[in-house]
Amino acid sequence: METMPKHLVPLETFCTVCPGKIPLSDPILITQKAKIATFTGILGDVTTYCKRCGVCGHFYRYQEWTEGLHNFDDHTILSLHLCLFLRQSVQNHTAVGRALDILEQTNQIKYPNHDSLLHGYLHFEALTSHDYNFSCVNCGVHPPVVIMDLHKKGVFSMPVSDIKDPPPHFEGHVDIEEFWQSVDKEIICRGFLQSNSANPFKVSPSYSKWAPWIGPLTRASKKVLNTEYAKLTAKKSVAEQAEIDITEERLSSELMNLKVDALRKLVKECGVDSKGSKMDLLLRLREEMKTRSTYDKVFQKVWGASGGWAVNSVKFNIRAESPRDYADMLLSFQHFPNIVIYDFARGLVTHTNLREPERLPFSPYEGRVAAATPENIASAKRGELKRSLPWLQLKKDPPDLNGHPATGSAEHYALYDTFHQYNTRDEKDALRVIGLVPELCGWINSQTAEQLFSGMRKNNYFMNSLSPASHIFLMCNILHHHNERVNQQALEEFKKVSHGDITLDTHGKAVLVNVDVPTNVDMAAHCGERCEALTMKSNLRPCRASWTQGLHHPTQEKLVNYVLDENRPINEIIVKDGQTCLTRENFLTLGLRREMDSMVGNACFRLIKEILQYEGKDVYFVDLHILPTWLFPSSCDPLLCLPSDSQKKDALVFPLWTPGHYLLCVIKPLKSEILFLDSQYSDRGQGFTHGPYRNILRFLKEDVCWKACSQALSRLFELLSVAQHIVSGPLTELTGLDVKGLPRQHYGIDCGIFMIMYSWYVVMDAPFDFTIHDMPCLRRWWCTVLMENLEIEGHGRRFAHFTKQGIEMASGSLDPVFRIPRKRKCEVTMEPGLSNACEAKKPRVESSLEEIGILQLPEEILHMILILVVLQDGDSMIQTLALTCTRFWRIVREKCFLKEAHLRWLDSVVNWKAFSEQHKREYRIPYKISSCIQCNSLFKDCEGYRGNGQRGKLHGFYSDKEFPGYCSSDCFYEAGGT
């Protein structure tokens, strides 16, 4: 302290306000009794001076930080070392007064008035150049994920009744820069006044001039939202009212925090006896709260007096915390976060979407991670549902329209934090759990806000006694220094593990430059749930980010290369999952540049169907093997393969095959649309030129001109056109020429991949983001998805790189599984010249084996066998047998076969001996198939018995003579019959 100056004179010699060089006056004495407070003691009898401009009248006082001093009010001066000590004390939850008490006891010296030193420290912080960016080096200035919460124990003292109503035309827009500058001015001006009551810059809470703090690069503009005034008069909508979740227990806990005087006053206002102890008052009030009117009054009085602030950006509430406050901040951001974690996520979504109904900030699925279908809810409750958001780790390319700059995604979700995810009563909130998103597991700590509040609560004993301006200023300053410290720690951790220089990019995120990548990283050691989630069915989406994510894992690459190795046996089983059985031979047609096999195509459609179920879509896919049988000469009935509720489906997908080329038809009954898609549409006259398929799927009478078809076949198509039986009324017909941005196949043999991708994107109404140049990548990706989602029954998922079996398979420690050949004829010979008689008796299997199979049987025997098959399994087996081979098809389509099968079934369900011969002659007859005049459905059009053709199963009569041409009495009366 001996080196400190005792005469403090401003260094300025000319006025900085007036034009030209206007000299200032000689030093003017202010006091000779000023004190300098330092960390080690007090220096008294300090003389302070000021200077004055004779032209403009401005005063200049001493404020020279280069000498290590900060002048508060010309009477109290703080050393910069003491200011920094007080800053660290506050950061460590120690009040300025307590820190000064410690110094007084340590130095055995009495310090100046503690309130003056507190204001002097705030004065120091107000004059310090802080940027208050409120950003994170991990997330940048535009965080894609934010955690929002309330610190309702941190309050300042102020009667709510003192807050004036806003101006009549106030719409909630506040100038954030103007407001916080006014707060700084109040703090600074205290150094010129003896009492803050005379401060011309004093800030009092008001609805029209009270703003949160959002970093300058984070907010959309200097005009931010603060609509707390709407809490006074605005009535909640029906949707918002349904979301109120303030329980009696939660309100009672708030009552416990009230002081006795405030509680007694509240009891009087509710018309309850106000005598007795605090516990007596609480018990009476709790009993009275059983009526809704008193409950509402207590809620408004207690909850409405609470203040608080939210993290990431800071908002100091004047009245009760509600989703409105969080929506104000989110809607003030330049870029709306993709993930918002909050303890009342459902209420936040409802309020925010009601405020912005045109753009619905929280979408899709109203901010849930999946569609709120019963299946998804049940799966989420069981912990089986996983929804990957790969853009949280790898930015979408290309990004969505209005996508977030960090992720490229325009999707926005609201999830519950881990403390509150099980407190909700709405079962749909099971789809708002952080654990459903693998990218957030282990990365996001939703308890961060609670942990921060736990530390901030240690400041309440001194923060809550400050004036409103001092409270919000110091709170904002504390958070700023907290952010600076956390960011510095993060950068130091980055430097320990990085192999290059670290800098901040244009979005404020820490990035590496001059990276030296190590080559000895074992990626297989990092496999786990995150790897599994990348190809999990519930997480796959029709977008580039989904099918390009995680394609370069070394173990995965090794397994894919193994499966697509042409030198290995083609009959090795890769997938045997239910009815799906795929060998290497099938996978080679998918993964390599070959014409795709229908077996593997059906497997891809199976996965797409299951993916769409997670999205809440009910879609029916027709088997690839069935559709060719609709064409001549098979001419099978198309309607037999359709579900009975076709008209209720979101879509019906018809993968069409012609020799050497795949096509696609999609019918959307609910939209009355039918799409005919050909990957080579630009080379087709009308975008789709396969007439037979087109006319079967949508019959237009004038288009029927097939000379090769008989008149009866043309009549059949007229009766059985698929679209007319699914959708009543006109259809909007589209081809590739009408679909915007439909990828085109200019060359190659990738039509099968185009067909698969078309079906996925079209059903989801997703924008097309693939081209013919992506076909090699898509071929390998579909192989990977099949390998990692489907198993070999009894052997697990051998080709999923994250499973134990997959790792063992990649290392070569597991033997392959082969498909067992069908029955073969063995030719036994005796090996001549063998001395050992036992060895001579062993049969030898010749290399040229002759197959013996059912097709070698005589026609009559086959006829009998197939009759028994139909009798055992029912009429549906007729179609299955017809698709098996040409010989079966010829047998089962004969009238004699159909007649015999029906009569054999009748004999198994009817005891003809119990009826007369007349009854037997009348009802033991073959049936014919007719189309109902009213509903166009097919029915057995004759008198007789009804059933599915399965032995022993009888339903009853299926028709009578009263309603000829109608499948039922209902159709007859609906058609106007009497």
Torsion of CA 288, 291, 296, 301, to 10 degrees: -10
Q: Which of 86-90, 117-121, 212-216, 297-301 has the lowest mean pLDDT?
A: 297-301
Decide the pairing of beta strands 619-621 and 651-658.
parallel
Chain-centre distance of CA 762, in angstroms? 20
Do you know the residue count of the chain?
A: 978
Query: 694, 728, 763 — which closes off a domain?
Result: 763
Q: For residue 263, what are the domain limits?
A: 245-305
Is 602 in contact with 580 (CB distance < 8 Å)? yes
Among 82, 95, 83, 78, smallest CA distance to 466 is for: 95
Residues 534, 379: Cα–Cα separation, whole Å: 18
Secondary structure letter of residue 661 according to DSSP: E
Q: What is the pLDDT of residues 66-75, one digit of tens each?
A: 889 999 999 9
In a domain, 362, yes or no: no
Residues 764, 472: Cα–Cα separation, whole Å: 48
Q: Read off the pLDDT of each residue in 918-941 and give the average, rounded to a whole number.
A: 78
Query: 92, 127, 162 — which closes off a domain?
Result: 127
Is 650 in contact with 618 (CB distance < 8 Å)? yes
Residues 632 and 750 occupy one common structural domain: yes
Of 914 and 856, the one with more pLDDT: 914
619: enclosing H helix or E strand: strand 619-621
Q: Read off the pLDDT of each residue in 545-574 and give the average, rounded to a whole number.
A: 86
In a domain, 50, yes or no: yes
Any residues with CB less than 8 A from the CB of 497 and at least 6 apart, and which?
Answer: none
In a domain, 719, yes or no: yes
Q: Read off the pLDDT of each residue in 433-449 and give the average, rounded to a whole number.
A: 73
Q: What is the pLDDT of residues 674-689, one digit of tens each?
A: 999 999 887 776 788 7
Residues 566 and 687 occupy one common structural domain: no
329: enclosing H helix or E strand: helix 323-332
Is 183 in contact with 472 (CB distance < 8 Å)? yes
Of 305 and 412, the one with more pLDDT: 412
Q: Is the pLDDT confidence value at 956 over 80? A: no
Residue spans of alpha helices (H) in 150-277: 176-189, 230-233, 238-241, 248-256, 260-269
Q: Which of 144-158, 452-466, 657-671, 692-706 has the lowest mean pLDDT?
A: 692-706
Residues 759 and 631 occupy one common structural domain: yes
Residue spans of alpha helices (H) in 402-553: 448-456, 460-463, 468-497, 529-534, 544-547
Instruction: Give the rounded percent of residues in the chain with a pLDDT score beyond 70.
Output: 79
535 CB-side CA count, 13 A? 26
The encoded tokens of residue 112 equal 């100046």
Among 955, 936, 931, 935, smallest CA distance to 945 is for: 955
Torsion of CA 551, 555, 557, 561, to 10 degrees: -160
Residues 273, 476: Cα–Cα separation, whole Å: 43
Q: Is the pLDDT confidence value at 269 over 90? A: no
Torsion of CA 743, 748, 749, 750, to 10 degrees: -30
In a domain, 678, yes or no: yes
pLDDT, position 310: 39
Residues 524, 809: Cα–Cα separation, whole Å: 13
777 CB-side CA count, 13 A? 14
Q: Read off the pLDDT of each residue in 406-422 and give the average, rounded to a whole number.
A: 84
How many other CB atoms sit within 10 Å of the CB of residue 361? 19
Residues 512, 739: Cα–Cα separation, whole Å: 43
Mean pLDDT, all residues of the chain: 80
pLDDT, position 646: 87
Region of 665 please: left (phi>0), alpha (psi -120 to 50) or beta. Answer: beta
Q: Is the pLDDT confidence value at 96 over 90? A: yes
Residues 256 and 296 occupy one common structural domain: yes
Q: Is the pLDDT confidence value at 755 over 80? A: yes
Residues 777 and 686 occupy one common structural domain: no
**344: pLDDT confidence band, cut at 50, 70 and 90?**
confident
Torsion of CA 168, 173, 177, 180, to 10 degrees: 60
Q: Which of 23-32, 375-384, 927-936 has the lowest mean pLDDT?
A: 927-936
**195: pLDDT confidence band, cut at 50, 70 and 90?**
confident
Residue burial 103-118, b: 16+ Cβ < 10 Å; e: rest: beeeeeeebbebebbb
Among 612, 700, 625, 601, smallest CA distance to 651 is for: 612
Residues 815, 818: Cα–Cα separation, whole Å: 10
**59: pLDDT confidence band, cut at 50, 70 and 90?**
very high
Any residues with CB less than 8 A from the CB of 777 and at least 6 apart, and which?
Answer: 547, 548, 551
Residues 877 and 781 occupy one common structural domain: no
Decide the pairing of beta strands 945-946 and 956-957.
antiparallel
pLDDT, position 721: 59
Residues 530, 441: Cα–Cα separation, whole Å: 9
pLDDT, position 527: 62
Residues 197, 175: Cα–Cα separation, whole Å: 25
CA geometry: angle at 958 spanning 888 and 895, to 5°? 25
Q: Which of 801-805, 907-911, 954-958 has the lowest mean pLDDT?
A: 954-958
Query: 86, 104, 127 — which closes off a domain?
Result: 127
The encoded tokens of residue 854 equal 């059912």
Residues 662 and 586 occupy one common structural domain: no
Instruction: Give the rounded percent of residues in the chain with a pLDDT score beyond 90.
Output: 32
Residues 125, 696: Cα–Cα separation, whole Å: 80
Q: What beta strand segments (E) does 855-944 contain?
A: 929-931, 938-940
Q: Read off the pLDDT of each residue in 45-52 and give the average, rounded to a whole number.
A: 94
pLDDT, position 247: 44
Q: What is the pLDDT of residues 494-547, one digit of tens each?
A: 776 555 567 777 778 777 655 444 444 444 445 666 678 788 888 888 988 788
Q: What is the pLDDT of residues 814-867, one digit of tens each?
A: 889 987 765 544 433 333 333 343 333 333 333 333 344 566 677 877 888 888
Q: Is the pLDDT confidence value at 161 over 90? A: no
**419: pLDDT confidence band, cut at 50, 70 and 90?**
low
Decide the pairing of beta strands 929-931 and 732-735.
unpaired
pLDDT, position 447: 58
239 CB-side CA count, 13 A? 12
pLDDT, position 334: 92
**611: pLDDT confidence band, cut at 50, 70 and 90?**
very high
Is 267 in contact with 285 (CB distance < 8 Å)? yes
Residues 635 and 592 occupy one common structural domain: no
631: enclosing H helix or E strand: none
Residues 257 and 294 occupy one common structural domain: yes
Chain-centre distance of CA 975, in angstroms? 48
Q: How many domains does the chain have?
A: 5
Among 206, 205, 174, 200, smallest CA distance to 186 is for: 200
In a domain, 531, yes or no: no
Residues 586, 564: Cα–Cα separation, whole Å: 10
Is 166 in contact with 206 (CB distance < 8 Å)? yes
Residues 633 and 691 occupy one common structural domain: yes
Full-model pTM: 0.54
In a domain, 657, yes or no: yes
> What CATH number has the domain bearing residue 591?
1.10.418
Torsion of CA 773, 775, 781, 782, to 10 degrees: 160
Secondary structure letter of residue 244 according to DSSP: -
Q: What is the pLDDT of residues 480-509, one digit of tens each?
A: 988 888 888 888 877 765 555 677 777 787
In a domain, 914, yes or no: yes
In a domain, 351, yes or no: no
Residues 762, 675: Cα–Cα separation, whole Å: 9
Region of 134 please: left (phi>0), alpha (psi -120 to 50) or beta. Answer: left
Residues 595 and 633 occupy one common structural domain: no
Residues 699 and 580 occupy one common structural domain: no
**237: pLDDT confidence band, cut at 50, 70 and 90?**
low
